[in-house]
A = this chain, B = another copy of it.
Amino acid sequence: MDFEPRATRKDITGALSSPEFFSYGVEAYEACKKRSLTSDIIVEQKKVQEADLVMFQFPLYWFSVPAVLKGWMDRVLCQGFAFDIPGFYDDGLLKGKLAILSITTGGTADMYWKTGVSGDFRYFLWPLQHGTLHFCGFKVLAPHISFAPEFASEEERKGMVASWAQRLKTIWNEEPIPCSPPWYFGQ
């Protein structure tokens, strides 16, 4: 996907609401209400609107999404479409939908244990799952993490894909995680 990640004034196709002082957030919100956002954003918003479950599949870059996916979040999940004030967290505009992060890492599971990011401490997931997805009203399923496929054998890689395929068979029966601090930071 070659999505444009940069949030700029080109995202607003009509007249600016405050041309004398450009604020991306304000202008995107107004453009969203007036349906004058640029077409690549609208196309993505339609996909989200039609989805019951949105899966984010990405390699972990600096304990977060790669910039191209960050740009998707910055531009597509704008005020008026994904949230409003009020209208966030449990009242987010995308409530009723599910989301899941499916992540591949560069480092091995062992490395993440050593640096304090393990099954018990999921610090890096907070801004994405809670600060972004839950903020927009999504319920979030437990993330699916495939550790270091690049350093795994062909056999191990097949196992990773198989376990993901297996999980998908019953994913509609899963309960969302509790999006609260203990889930992220341990006791």
A116 to chain B: which residues have CB within 8 Å? 181
Q: Which of these binds chain B: A47-55, A69-77, A93-101, A166-174?
A: A69-77
A61 close to B (CB within 8 Å): yes
Task: Find out whether the CB atom of B71 lies under 8 angstroms from the CB atom of A127.
Answer: no
| Known pairs A68-B71, A123-B127 / 16 extra A-B pairs, C-beta < 8 Å | A5-B67, A6-B66, A61-B73, A62-B70, A63-B126, A63-B127, A63-B132, A64-B64, A67-B71, A67-B75, A70-B71, A71-B71, A123-B123, A124-B127, A126-B126, A185-B185
State the number of copies, please.
2
Instruction: Give min CB distance, A6 to chain B, whole Å.
Output: 5
Q: Which residue of B lies closest to A6 (CB)?
A: B68
Chain A interface residues (CB < 8 Å from chain B)? 2, 5-7, 23-26, 59, 61-68, 70-71, 73-75, 77, 89, 106, 115-117, 121, 123-124, 126-127, 131-132, 135, 150, 181, 184-185
A154 to B43, CA, bound (A): 38
Instruction: Provide the bound-state CA to CA distance between A6 and B65, in Å.
Output: 11
Contact status B67-A6, CB under 8 Å? yes
Q: Are A7 and B74 in contact (CB under 8 A)?
A: no
Given contacts A123-B126, A131-B124, contact A23 B68 (CB under 8 A): no
CB neighbours of A124 from chain B (8 A): 126-127, 131
Complex interface: chain B residues within 8 A of A135 (CB): 62
Leading 9 A-B pairs by shortest Cβ distance: A67-B71, A63-B131, A5-B67, A63-B127, A67-B70, A5-B5, A70-B70, A62-B132, A123-B126
